[in-house]
């Protein structure tokens, strides 16, 4: 139990699920927490702070500019709003009413996901393209780039792309199709870090805007993220989330984000104003990012997490009725996860029942539930603390004896 949660009567959980939002994201290092405390002691000009963030993000991603957002979902909302309104403050003021604007966002049907609600929040209408035949079991194909090209009209504001190692069509083909029609591509790369190379990968492939979560595996504050990309679109995103309770004459946007002369006056508070990133989140994210790209931090993380996952494997491998193995984690190359297959007949319970018993016991243990149909449960080490492997193994033996 930790002091502050104990005071509030909130139990802490053992998080072997990973950096999911519903189990509070990842663990922040003391360095990040200290930087946030430091940030909280002084006030700054938020445009200036986002301007400096833009330089740092541009340097690390190869993008022209970037801002810190309150998460990847906020990045999707802001990125879409930028593609719809451009640098027109009158259009910004009208969102989510898009009458008279380009407001369609084209995406492959197989990329639809719960987070694309954030794209619609900006006022966009989704245009789904293709049939994900490879997932239905009926065929082998997915949406193809020519189908995306064919769906683009004069109403298209953007093409939206969900980045995943198995995403089809390939991003470079989608970019080619979109750019041929003068349409920007907005990439959701929320959980594609690590590997660290992915900070540049999607921009290198020609994406106009890319959004990442800060609160997942890079170790930033849970409510932080990055939106990076084309300078004019990032300027529009900044204009639609920063606070404008001032006169135009008082406003000094930093050159790293925009020239003041490109707009005739300041818009009102924009569609992105409810997803405010505070100075503490911005500094926390920038600190986490600096640590994330430092080789020694990566190596240290890798060692600690690999040791923990080995402890977990050693502790779990004698559990009755399970076959236990170390398996690569698609999301975190280099650090495996422990995967169990339960003999449901011998155990007298299903993997899903076991997941529920782990979750509803004391302490509450959350495991990966994505393969329960195959009687499999996964345990990730990314959010574990040193005493956790033993606690998990002890509970598993009790539940399966
Ligand atoms: C987690 C996630 C998001 C949302 O990220 P937040 O930083 O929590 O806003 C969006 N898209 C995908 C694919 C995600 O995995």
Of all atoms in ligand 1, which is nearest to the CA of residue 118? 10
Find all residues with CB under 8 Å of 320, minimum gap 6, and list them: 346, 347, 397, 400, 401
The pLDDT value recorded for residue 175 is 98
Å from CA of 320 to ligand 1 middle: 36
Q: Measured between alpha carbons, how far is 258 from 82 in angstroms, rounded to an integer?
A: 14
Summarised one tens digit per residue, pLDDT across range 166-175 is 999 999 999 9
Å from CA of 114 to ligand 1 middle: 9
Find where tokens 């810190």 sit: 68
Mutational pocket test of ligand 1: of 107, 112, 115, 187, the residue with most ligand atoms within 8 Å of the beta carbon: 115
Quick one: CA dihedral 67, 77, 370, 388, positive or negative?
Answer: positive
CATH number 3.90.1150.180 is the correct assignment for the domain at 3-21+295-400 = yes
Q: Measured between alpha carbons, how far is 400 from 113 in angstroms, rounded to an integer?
A: 35
Mean pLDDT over the full length of the chain: 95
Q: Give the whole-number percent of the chain exceeding pLDDT 90.
A: 88
Å from CA of 20 to ligand 1 middle: 9
Listed by start position, the domains of the chain span 3-21+295-400, 43-292
Confidence of residue 6 (pLDDT cuts 50, 70, 90): very high
pTM: 0.95
> Higher confidence at residue 336 or residue 347?
347
Summarised one tens digit per residue, pLDDT across range 36-91 is 999 999 999 999 999 999 999 999 999 999 999 999 999 999 999 999 999 999 99
Pairing of strands 337-342, 322-327: antiparallel
The pLDDT value recorded for residue 303 is 83
Å from CA of 72 to ligand 1 middle: 5
Q: Lowest mean pLDDT of 14-23, 83-92, 269-278, name the range.
A: 14-23
Q: Give ligand 1 pocket residues (Cβ under 6 A).
A: 21, 71-73, 115, 188, 190-191, 213, 215, 225
Q: Whose CA is nearest to atom 5 of ligand 1?
A: 72
The pLDDT value recorded for residue 300 is 79
Å from CA of 250 to ligand 1 middle: 35
Dump strand ranges (E) for 163-301: 185-188, 209-213, 225-229
Tell me which CATH code domain 43-292 carries: 3.40.640.10
Bridge-partner residues for 366, per DSSP? 15
- Burial per residue of 254-275, b for 16 or more beta-carbon CB atoms within 10 angstroms, e otherwise: bebbbeeeebeebbebbbbeeb
Confidence of residue 2 (pLDDT cuts 50, 70, 90): low
Summarised one tens digit per residue, pLDDT across range 306-337 is 888 999 999 999 999 999 999 888 766 678 89
Task: For residues 201-222, give the mean pLDDT.
Answer: 96
Q: Measured between alpha carbons, how far is 376 from 351 in angstroms, rounded to an integer?
A: 6
Quick one: CA dihedral 280, 282, 287, 291, positive or negative?
Answer: positive
Task: For residues 150-160, give the mean pLDDT.
Answer: 98
Confidence of residue 297 (pLDDT cuts 50, 70, 90): confident
The pLDDT value recorded for residue 336 is 86
- Burial per residue of 54-89, b for 16 or more beta-carbon CB atoms within 10 angstroms, e otherwise: bebbbebbebbbbbbbbbbbbbbbbbbbbbbbbbeb
Q: Measured between alpha carbons, how far is 292 from 305 in angstroms, rounded to an integer?
A: 15
Q: Whose CA is nearest to atom 1 of ligand 1?
A: 190
Neighbours of 155 (CB within 10 A): 13
Q: Measured between alpha carbons, how far is 279 from 194 in angstroms, rounded to an integer?
A: 25
Instruction: Look at residue 161 and tell me whether its pLDDT is greater than 60.
Output: yes
Mutational pocket test of ligand 1: of 73, 118, 224, the residue with most ligand atoms within 8 Å of the beta carbon: 73
Q: What is the 3-state secondary structure (H, E, C) of 176-205?
A: HHHHHCCCCEEEECCCCCCCCCHHHHHHHC
């Amino acid at each position: 139990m930790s002091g502050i949660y104990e005071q509030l009567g909130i139990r802490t959980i053992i998080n072997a699920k990973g950096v999911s939002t519903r189990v509070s994201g990842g663990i922040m290092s003391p360095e990040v927490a200290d930087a946030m405390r430091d940030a909280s002691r002084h006030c700054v000009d938020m445009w200036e702070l986002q301007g400096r963030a833009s330089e740092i993000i541009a340097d690390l991603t190869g993008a022209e500019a970037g801002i810190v957002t309150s998460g990847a979902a906020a990045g999707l909302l802001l990125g879409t709003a930028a593609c719809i309104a451009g640098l027109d403050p009158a259009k910004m003021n009208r969102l989510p009413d898009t009458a008279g604007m380009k407001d369609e966002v084209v995406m492959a049907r197989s990329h639809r996901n719960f987070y694309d609600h954030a794209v619609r929040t900006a006022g966009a209408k989704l245009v789904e393209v293709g049939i994900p035949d490879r997932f239905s079991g009926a065929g082998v194909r997915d949406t193809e780039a020519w189908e995306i090209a064919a769906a683009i009209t004069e109403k298209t504001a953007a093409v939206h792309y969900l980045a995943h190692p198995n995403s089809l069509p390939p991003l470079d083909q989608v970019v080619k199709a979109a750019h041929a029609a003068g349409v920007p591509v907005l990439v959701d790369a929320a959980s594609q870090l690590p590997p660290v190379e992915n900070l540049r990968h999607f921009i290198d492939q020609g994406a106009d805007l890319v959004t990442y979560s800060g609160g997942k595996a890079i170790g930033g504050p849970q409510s932080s993220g990055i939106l990076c990309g084309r300078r004019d679109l990032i300027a529009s995103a900044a204009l639609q989330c920063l606070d404008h309770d001032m006169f135009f004459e008082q406003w000094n946007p930093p050159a790293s984000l925009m020239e003041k002369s490109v707009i005739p006056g300041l818009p009102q508070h924009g569609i992105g104003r409810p997803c405010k990133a505070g100075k503490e989140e911005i500094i926390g994210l920038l600190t986490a990012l600096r640590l994330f790209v430092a080789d020694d931090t990566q190596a240290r993380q890798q060692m600690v997490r690999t040791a923990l996952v080995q402890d977990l494997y050693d502790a779990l491998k004698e559990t009755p009725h399970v076959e236990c193995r170390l398996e690569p984690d698609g999301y975190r190359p280099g650090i495996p996860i422990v995967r169990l297959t339960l003999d449901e007949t011998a155990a007298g319970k299903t993997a899903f029942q076991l997941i529920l018993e782990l979750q509803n016991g004391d302490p509450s243990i959350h495991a990966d539930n994505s393969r329960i149909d195959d009687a499999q449960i996964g345990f990730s080490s990314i959010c574990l603390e040193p005493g956790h492997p033993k606690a998990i193994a002890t509970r598993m033996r009790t539940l399966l004896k």
